[in-house]
Amino acid sequence: MNLKSNNRKRLVVWIALVTLFLMALISIMQGGSKYIGKSYLERDGFQGEIGTFIENLSVTILNPIDLEVEKERITVTEAEIEEHRTRYGTLAEQIGSIDEQYAGRIEDAKAGKSEKLKTALIKERDTKIDDIRKNFEDDAHVEKKIRAEKEEILTRFWNERERNLNQQMELPFAYSLKDIETGETFTSGDINAPASYEKNFNAQEGYLKAESDRVSKNDIYQLDGLAYDEETYYFLGNSYTAKVNPTRKFEGTIILPKSALSEGLLGRDIQRFERTKIGMYVLWGLGILSLVALCTVFRFKREWVMNSQFVSSYNRLKMDIKIALLILSLLGVYVLLELIPGRFSWFFFQTSPENCIILVGLFVVLGFFLWTTVFQLVLLVERLKIEGTLEEDIRSSYSMKFSKELQEMFLNRTIGVQMFLLLIGFFLSGLGLFGVMVAPGLLLIYIPLALFVGFPLLYIFVRRTAYLNRIIQATEAMAQGRLHKAIEVEGESPLADHAKNLNNLREGVRISMSEQAKSERLKTELITNVSHDLRTPLTSIITYTDLLKNEELAAEERAKYVDILDKKSQRLKTLIEDLFEVSKMASGNMELNKQRVDLTQLLQQALAEHAEEISNTGLDFRTGLPDTALISYVDGKRWWRVLDNLIVNAVKYTLPGTRVYITLRKVGDDAEFVIKNITKYELGESVNELFERFKRADTARSTDGSGLGLAIAQSIVDMHNGTMKIEMDGDLFKVTVTVLAS
């Protein structure tokens, strides 16, 4: 145990030393030329800043372009005049538009009795109309306005350009420069102060050639902060180029005072540069010491890896997974070695706790990737030493299995080719080429996704497709009548379940076809019945609505028609509400509000509600109710609907002149409600069809029922965990409803 612990510690130290050495090596390769033997003023970046300063000094101070002269060069073409004139339409269209804009506001001013506002609006409107008329009458008027717009654009452009150039002249140079032809002198700062940098311009060393600013097309419409575009550039004149002034030659001196090296922004930059250089020297020194230690005290030993607790787990992995992990490790080392040296330089340039934490974190992650790389390479070498292992690893790899499954995938060529091409196309377009081409940095994300997500999913997909093709072949054999061989069931996948179902299909074909025929018939009846029941009252509503449009209609007839409309509307409302309620129950969205309810009292209330209707039918209702309360834990409102639907059903479909028997009693732990009657329509032999939606005993559908009564009652009873049973004996119709009593 102590030996393993000691090996782990030595391996950690070795990885840390390797990490430090690699960081130093990459750092010196990337930044050695920037820091070794150089001061801040000797670095290439500073020389570039001097060149930028001289260039910007030339175009902004020594030889600037005259804005007023540029304004004089602006041209206005006839096409621009015509475009400006008709930009918003013809003369009539523009005047009409102005009138329309002010008409409402003037009317509001009149309504508010504000004479001053009305007068001001009228004057403003007339002024704009006069200006529009002048646009169509006088080219000079339009040209003047266009020229003013162009001058304003040009002024904004030059001011913005000069501001940007001045911002680039940040170094605190002092200078004294004289034009050798005109003698004009330009000075700034103390030219006699002690200098850390000095550049002279004269006949021997060369004059300072101050060239005029050259404005390109891109400068016009790409200047930061201005929304100039191709159209604006054309508006200034498609061939517009600033008039270039003759080059002026200057003699004199430009210096960088020594005082500037310790003050202001430049002083801070120099301090950061020196601090960064010292830090880089320290890093490189540590890298050299690490290399010495790696070659002497901490020479690598394979036992550090072979005694690891992860060896056995890693060796059980398939060869494909090992290769993927090795690629990921190497990629992580490469990316981090590119990233860390720059972050190390930035750490010395701007020290902060956040940068320190980030740097330490990157160092640890790099060490981890180095450890995984070394770990895998050692185990790979050791395994290759064993004869025959490479061949065995290849045979048992996912790639070989994938190849075999790929062959079986194309047993059915059409499906295999289509699905394979679809998968590859989606994989490449969704996760691959486009993302990497747009942002190469996504390679670090793309490769792990491809190795650990894309390829495993592809393997599973191909394997499943191959199995599916075998199932399809077996199914085709069953369709041809060869039912002697069952489909092979492999594993516990959905396809295996499908194979089991297909094996059972041989015994259930007849039942399935019968149920399908019944389903089609009921669906056709449902559509027919819904259409009929909704169309009938709707047709009446339309008809009597048209009749009511007759203004000569008598009051008595109008009242009669309104009464019919009311009845038909209520009929349509009932149908729609019943339909929605059945749909709601079927979807399981209805909630019950259960409470203790006296079923005896609830049945008495339901019968009392229909007492007048029962009396009008001439039916003889015989009731048998318990003398005491029969309590059940139900939703009173929903259970009342059950009783109401069954009573209404009896009233509508009982043979006139016969009796209806209603009983309520307690049977065991249940409350039992029974209603019996003699039907006036032939019901047929199928009891279950009476529970179907829109099913009526009245096949001619001459009654007002929706056909949903029994379906709704059945759904409510089911929600209460009760039972509802229909029995028929000839024309005798009996419904028995039971629910748990309290």
Residue pair 638/584 in contact (Cβ under 8 Å)? The answer is no
pLDDT value of position 610: 86
Q: Give the phi and the psi of residue 728 in degrees, each rounded to 5.
A: -130, 140
Q: What percent of the chain clears pLDDT 90, i.e. is strictly above it? A: 12
Rounded Cα distance between 608 and 351, Å, is 91
What burial class does residue 289 get, using C-beta atoms within 10 Å of its C-beta: 0-12 exposed, 13-18 middle, 19+ buried? middle
The DSSP secondary-structure symbol of 244 reads P
The CA-based angle 100-103-106, given to 5 degrees, is 155
**3-class DSSP assignment, residue 31:** helix
pLDDT value of position 231: 40
Rounded Cα distance between 186 and 136, Å, is 51
pLDDT value of position 662: 94
Rounded Cα distance between 92 and 94, Å, is 6
Single-letter residue type at 88: Y
Q: How many residues does the chain have?
A: 742
By C-alpha distance, which of 539, 536, 557 is closest to 548? 557
Question: Which residues neighbour 537 within 8 Å (Cβ) at sequence distance 6 or greater?
Answer: 568, 569, 571, 572, 575
pLDDT digits (tens, 9 = 90+) for 15-60: 888 888 888 887 788 777 777 777 777 776 777 778 888 888 887 8
| Paired strand residues for 733 | 677, 728
CB count in 10 Å sphere of residue 70: 19
Rounded Cα distance between 454 and 431, Å, is 9
Single-letter residue type at 438: V
**3-class DSSP assignment, residue 739:** strand
Residue pair 98/130 in contact (Cβ under 8 Å)? The answer is no
Task: Return the structure tokens found at 169.
Answer: 């002249």
**3-class DSSP assignment, residue 238:** coil
Q: Which residues of the chain have pLDDT under 50?
A: 1, 217, 220-235, 237-239, 412, 415, 691-706
DSSP letters of 301-363?
Answer: -THHHHT-TTHHHHHTS-HHHHHHHHHHHHHHHHHHHHHHHHHHHHHHHS--HHHHHHHHHHH
Rounded Cα distance between 567 and 171, Å, is 93
Task: Return the structure tokens found at 146.
Answer: 């266009």
| Domain annotation for the chain: domains and CATH numbers | 2-36+268-394 (no CATH), 397-479 (no CATH), 503-587 (1.10.287.130), 591-740 (3.30.565.10)
Which residue pairs, CB below 8 angstroms and at least 24 apart, start in 145-152? 145/84, 146/76, 146/80, 146/81, 146/84, 147/74, 147/76, 149/235, 150/74, 150/76, 150/235, 150/236, 151/71, 151/74
Does the model's pTM come out above 0.75? no
Sign, Cα dihedral of 287, 289, 295, 298: negative
Question: Which residues neighbour 417 within 8 Å (Cβ) at sequence distance 6 or greater?
Answer: 410
Question: Which residues neighbour 729 within 8 Å (Cβ) at sequence distance 6 or greater?
Answer: none
By C-alpha distance, which of 657, 634, 653, 648 is closest to 716? 634
pLDDT value of position 321: 86
Task: Return the structure tokens found at 109.
Answer: 């001013």
